[in-house]
Amino acid sequence: MTMSITHLGTGSRGNSTLLEAGDVKVLLDQGFSGAQLEKRLNRMNLKPQDIDCILVSHHHGDHGGGVAIAQRKWNIPVLANERTALELNLDPMLTKYFGSLDLVRVGDDLSILTVPVPHGDSDNVAFVANYRGERAAVITDLGSWTDELVKHVHGCQHISIEANYDEKLLDHGPYPYSLKERIRGRGGHLSNKQTGEFLAEVCTENTRTVVLTHLSEKNNSPHLAESTILYHIGDFFSGDIDISLQDGPEKTHYVNADIHFNNEILN
């Protein structure tokens, strides 16, 4: 048995990632409507009732907007920090709090570390999962990174991280100046260049897969994101680079490189 990561969809209109480890199924964020969540899980022959719990990174609607729906409709337990839970008005009977750098245990062998990252007016966290020695990081919505994040992500076998915008496309794009400045600020989002620089710090010979997420539909493109990241890590990284877009899921990523599956998800 191995750990796997499937992005149900990433972008400004909703984010959710399915983490499977043995018999345990966890959603990292739930920014979709109930109907959309059902539809996306159905493509994997799953239903919301199969989910053991949801971990929420922060309260912004594209990451947490569908969490309360999942609680009301399917009684799914939720783990979040206190501010996120209060902002989303979560059911206290179905919600447990975690703190910064808490190690959340789900089942017998899966643990998930909650690592604070800077992002606007939210108490946002990245997730670093460990299952029987396999390590995977899911990081989104941050305008910069910390030494703490580098320490915990360094050498992960799988890294999912946002590559939100191309600097030139943002500069010449349709957004007002104030929004452009907010996006490129410390509490905003990572550019392709910044993501490449971060990956150059944390990728090692153990890193087998990188997935670029949360690409802006107006200020980025898959080929620009991938080519920029390869510029920074292509000399030493020999693993796979994939892109997760808004309308997922497209592919399941298995953390153990010794296990080979047909990981394309058929419509």
Report the largest interatomic distance among the alpha carbons of the chain, rounded to a whole angstrom: 50
* Residue 25 phi, psi dihedral angles, 5° rounding: -125, 120
pLDDT attached to residue 164:
97
Contacts with 116 (C-beta within 8 Å, 6 or more apart), sequence order: 100, 101, 123, 124, 125, 126, 146, 148
pLDDT attached to residue 121:
74
pLDDT tens across the length of the chain (267 residues) = 799 999 999 999 999 999 999 999 999 999 999 999 999 999 999 999 999 999 999 999 999 999 999 999 999 999 999 999 999 999 999 999 999 999 999 999 999 999 999 877 778 999 999 999 999 999 999 999 999 999 999 999 999 999 999 999 999 999 999 999 999 988 899 999 999 999 999 999 999 999 999 999 999 999 999 999 999 999 999 999 999 999 999 899 999 855 544 466 655
User: Which two three-digit tokens encode residue 210?
Assistant: 């990188």
pLDDT attached to residue 262:
45
18-40 tens-digit pLDDT: 999 999 999 999 999 999 999 99
CB atoms within 10 A of CB 94: 17
Separation of alpha carbons 15 and 140, rounded Å: 10
Q: What is the side-by-side order of every strand in the sheet holding 134-139? A: 103-106, 110-116, 125-131, 134-139, 158-162, 209-213, 240-243
Q: Write the class of the CATH domain 3-250.
A: alpha beta
